[in-house]
Amino acid sequence: MSITHQEIVKAKEPGKYYDGNGLMLVVTKTGTKNWQFKFKINMQERCMGLGPFAARSDEDGLTLAQARDRVIELRRLIRTGVDPLAQKKAARAKPATDRTFKAVAEKFIELHSPTWKHPKHEKQWRQSLEKYTYPVIGDMDVAAITRQDVIGVLDPIWQVVPETASRVRARIYAVMKFAKARGLRDGENPAIWVEGLDGAFPSRNKLRAVQSYAAVPFADLPKFMAELRAQDGMPARALEFGILCGSRSAEVLGATWGEVNLTDRVWTIPGSRMKNGDQHRVPLSDRAMAILNAVKPEKIDPTALVFGPMGENSLRRVLASTSYGNCTVHGFRSAFRDWAVETTSYPEIVSNMALAHRVADQTDAAYRRGDLFDKRKGLMNDWASHCEPREAEIIRFAA
């Protein structure tokens, strides 16, 4: 006895629903619905998965009509002596080398990485794909990858490292979208979240509370700054400058002399180097200016890095050498915001603008076109005063 489309849509009880000709629908305990095809070849009974049930033809998977057509095609193959299950496994094991997920992903990275804001993003992409994705689907033809295959990648890591798992899913989605645009596959993206994998996994935000960056308490900043100023070397100066400016590490490490106006006391970071993509002007306090004047070369090259070539690990090592080594570099931005909200009368939007956060209130964003630069001047000067060591310190710079 065959089944109808409506019966399949309404089916919730786990079990097998037979349609005839070897086609059956398997409903799991979680409500997932998948097609299977039972057949015999060489007197051996075989069972072959055909993919998930699709309520509409534009969804990933097979509708009832499409599943029936697929079974007819498979029956024709069987009559010619071909084992469709063995054929499917062979196709997955040895796809054309330029059609494997790994090959397509590498091509995607090659083409898109020049547009990414920071070189570390390419490294993060490669590391996450090599560690979590390639061992599972790296050698599969992108046309053959299904939602179940993506679930196979994410299952071991979704609850263990939810943030990483979420990024891996997003990267698989981007690669599969790229593959479809290149004509290498059809159908819905198997890594899509809404009306897709959101039914297979709980939201990562519900799995684990968001962990804040460990920060030096803002009340301890004067003590910390005294320790920091006692250290020689560019990394120490770069870290101090970043704290005084409320800036991200990447913004400081990528700063060039062409971005700095020593006369007007302004550091202008282009949108291409900002997380939100918008140009950001930073008013420079007396101490920030003192740091720049101390590291300034005799002849300034506008393209040269202010603090020279170094990575974020250099800043981490400086921080680790202090009595606050368990904190993070990024945590100083949290300390700045806590200080501004709890101890000053500046409107919250001023500290948000100083941190280059996007304005959450759309109405406010629509009516305010400036960057509150004059108000931020006062805020950053007050922040620098708060950070100043209470006792005079001998400032030693690297030669």
pLDDT score for 399: 32
* Per-residue confidence (pLDDT) for residue 299, from 0 to 100: 93
Q: What is the pLDDT of residue 5?
A: 87
Structural tokens at position 286: 């007396």
218-387 is a CATH 1.10.579.10 domain: no
**3-state class (DSSP) for residue 100:** strand
Which parts of the chain sit beneath pLDDT 70?
1, 89-97, 205-213, 358-370, 391-399
Class of domain 97-207: mainly alpha
Handedness of CA 338, 341, 342, 344 (dihedral sign): positive
Contact 70, 62 (CB under 8 A): yes
Question: Can you read off the two tokens belonging to residue 89?
Answer: 């496994």
Looking at residue 93, its pLDDT comes to: 55
Domain spanning 5-92, CATH class: alpha beta
Pairwise CA distance, residues 362 & 376, whole Å: 21
pLDDT at residue 207 in the model: 64
Q: Where are the alpha helices (DSSP H) in the chain?
A: 5-10, 64-79, 84-93, 101-112, 119-128, 134-137, 147-154, 162-181, 204-207, 221-229, 234-245, 249-253, 286-295, 312-320, 331-343, 348-354, 362-367, 373-387
pLDDT at 90: 60
Write down the domain spans for the chain: 5-92, 97-207, 218-387
pLDDT of residue 58: 73
Indicate the pairing of strand 266-269 with strand 260-261: antiparallel
